[in-house]
C-alpha cells in the first residue's frame, strides 16, 4: 500500500523545477470530561492490537522533490506509486509512504528527517533530493552535509538507505557539475548505500518523455523511472 504523508508533505506548485532545460528533463482545545476520558481510554485499549499490527509493517519512506511527488500528474501515476504497486505484489505486507514535496531542497529534507523517522520508523529510506540545490547554485559542501545528515540519522535509526542522484547541465560549469554528481557517489561509497546515480537517465534525452514545461516527466515515462530504480531498491526489501 502507499500513503501520502499529508502532514509532512503538502503538495504545492514548484516554482523551482528540479532539472534544467539543458536536459530534455533534467484547540481550539479539546476539553475532556472524566467520562469522556474513560471512554477514550477504553477505545484506545481496544485499538491497540490494530495499531501494533500497523506499526509492525515494514515501510519504505520516500523523501524527494517534485520528481517523486508526481508533479503535474495524478499521484497514482508517479514512479513512487507505481513502485508501491509493485511492492504490494512482490512483497506483501510492506507499505510505502511518499513524503516528497515539490520544490524541496536538501536543507528541507535534513530539517524533516528526525520527525519523519520517528513517525514512520522506516525499514528503507529513499532519498531523492538535491536537484533544486543545484539549480539555485547552492554550495556543494552545504548540499552534501544536508544529505549526510539524513543518511546518518536514518542508519542510526536502523533504516537501509537508497540514495537517488541527479545531474546538473553543463552550462553550470564543469567544476560544479562534476562536483554535484560526485557528492552522491562519494556519499554512497562512504556510507555503503544502495545507489542510483541519475534518476532521469532512461529518459533524459527524450523530449517526448516530458511535460510542456520540458522539465517534469509525463505519465507515460514514469514506468521507466520505476524500472530504473527497482533493481537497486528490491534487494533492500528482502
Q: pLDDT truncated to tens, each residue of the chain (238 aa)?
A: 666 664 444 434 344 444 444 454 444 333 333 344 334 443 443 433 333 334 579 999 999 999 999 999 999 999 999 999 999 999 999 999 999 999 999 999 999 999 999 999 999 999 999 999 999 999 999 999 999 999 999 999 999 999 999 999 888 999 999 999 999 999 999 999 999 999 999 999 999 999 998 889 999 999 999 999 999 999 999 9
Cα angle 9, 128, 91 (rounded to 5 degrees) comes to 85
Torsion, CA 227, CA 233, CA 235, CA 238, rounded to 10: -120
95 catalytic residue (yes or no): no
Q: Which residue has the cell 509493517?
A: 57
91 catalytic residue (yes or no): no
213 catalytic residue (yes or no): yes
Q: Which of 20, 66, 100, 143 is catalytic?
A: 66
Helix axis angle, 174-191 to 140-156, nearest 10°? 20
State the Cα–Cα distance between residues 134 and 173, nearest whole angstrom: 11
Distance (Å) of CA 197 to CA 166, 182, 186, 204, 208 = 7, 9, 11, 13, 22
Evaluate if pTM is beyond 0.85: no
Strand order through the sheet with 95-98: 2-4, 95-98, 59-64, 124-128, 160-164, 194-196
Q: Which of 5, 20, 216, 228 is catalytic?
A: 216
Amino acid at each position: 500500500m502507499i500513503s501520502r504523508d499529508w502532514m509532512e508533505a503538502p503538495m504545492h506548485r514548484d516554482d523551482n523545477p528540479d532539472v534544467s532545460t539543458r536536459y530534455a528533463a533534467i484547540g481550539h482545545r479539546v476539553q475532556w470530561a472524566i467520562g469522556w476520558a474513560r471512554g477514550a481510554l477504553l477505545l484506545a485499549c481496544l485499538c491497540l492490537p490494530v495499531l501494533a499490527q500497523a506499526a509492525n509493517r515494514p515501510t519504505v519512506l520516500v523523501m524527494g522533490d517534485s520528481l517523486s511527488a508526481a508533479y503535474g500528474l495524478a499521484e497514482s501515476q508517479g514512479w513512487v506509486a507505481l513502485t508501491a504497486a509493485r511492492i504490494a505484489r512482490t512483497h506483501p505486507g510492506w507499505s510505502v509512504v511518499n513524503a516528497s514535496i515539490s520544490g524541496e531542497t536538501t536543507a528541507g529534507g535534513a530539517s524533516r528527517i528526525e520527525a519523519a523517522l520517528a513517525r514512520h520508523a522506516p525499514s528503507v529510506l529513499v532519498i531523492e533530493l538535491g536537484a533544486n540545490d543545484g539549480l539555485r547554485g547552492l554550495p556543494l559542501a552545504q548540499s552534501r552535509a544536508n544529505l549526510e545528515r539524513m543518511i546518518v540519522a536514518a542508519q542510526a535509526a536502523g533504516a537501509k538507505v537508497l540514495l537517488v542522484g541527479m545531474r546538473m547541465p553543463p552550462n553550470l560549469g564543469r567544476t560544479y557539475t562534476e562536483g554535484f554528481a560526485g557528492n552522491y557517489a562519494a556519499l554512497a561509497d562512504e556510507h555503503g548505500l544502495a545507489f542510483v546515480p541519475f534518476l532521469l537517465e532512461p529518459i533524459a534525452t527524450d523530449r517526448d518523455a516530458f511535460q510542456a514545461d520540458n522539465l517534469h516527466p509525463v505519465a507515460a515515462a514514469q514506468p521507466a523511472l520505476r524500472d530504473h530504480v527497482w533493481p537497486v531498491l528490491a534487494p533492500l526489501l528482502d
